A = this chain, B = another copy of it.
Amino acid sequence: MLRGCAGLLRSWALRGPKRGRSFSSEVLHVDHSLPNPSWNEDMRLLFDQFMKKSEDGSWKRLPSYKCNPPERIEDVKIFFPDAKLLKEQMSQAQQFPRSLGEGVGFEYAMFHNHVEDRTVCIFQGGPHLQGVPGFLHGGAIATMIDSALGMCAILTGGIAMTANLNINFRRPIPLCSVVVINCQLDRVEGRKLFVSCNIRSMDEKTLYSEATSTFVKLDPKKKN
């Protein structure tokens, strides 16, 4: 069951939700990892570079949606059978990094390299992600790190949740600038997936943050 769910999740991460289902809606099927008018020149340039790298199949762009497909919600019920997933709340639920409006929040696209177990996230942080005036909030940086590291862990080891996240913030990231998050799987020990990343400027000269994280694969036989 676990493997089945992991496979379904990997499929969802790489290809997106199945079309033509009864739950289909425009909101569900808009892929937000594609360029939009709010992306600046740097963001478009990096996107084009990674799309070029994807042509030989070594890298793959990961689609990204606002809402979860119903099959994913059903998966979670397997892992957390006691969870009270209230219908009204679930109908309003949105993926946090996609819940802000176009251009003001998290603009990002991720690419995964299966041979090297690496995920790269290109990220433009909008003006509604402010902490200290002029700079991104530490929580916004943590959100993007957790999302990118999570994708790296899930695509390698199957459905998993963050157990630890340790971030060193080296320099503040200016609002509306574009940065690159480089993630890699370091090792696997039983159900634990150890991943790490750094955040650098587009020209790689400035190191903004570094992080390590432990994800734990969900096991339907154990109460998590």
Contact = CB atoms under 8 A, between A and B. Distances in A.
A99 B93 contact: no
Contacts of A193: none
A130 interface: yes
Contacts of A220: none
Q: Report how many copies the assembly holds.
A: 2
Interface stretch (A26-34, A50-58, A161-169): A161-169
Nearest to A140: B96
Contacts of A136: 96
B132 A161 contact: yes
Interface stretch (A77-85, A113-121, A198-206): A77-85
A142 B138 CA distance: 8
Interface of A: 68, 72-73, 75-76, 80, 83-86, 89-90, 92-97, 99-100, 104-105, 127-140, 142-147, 150, 161-169, 172, 174-176, 224
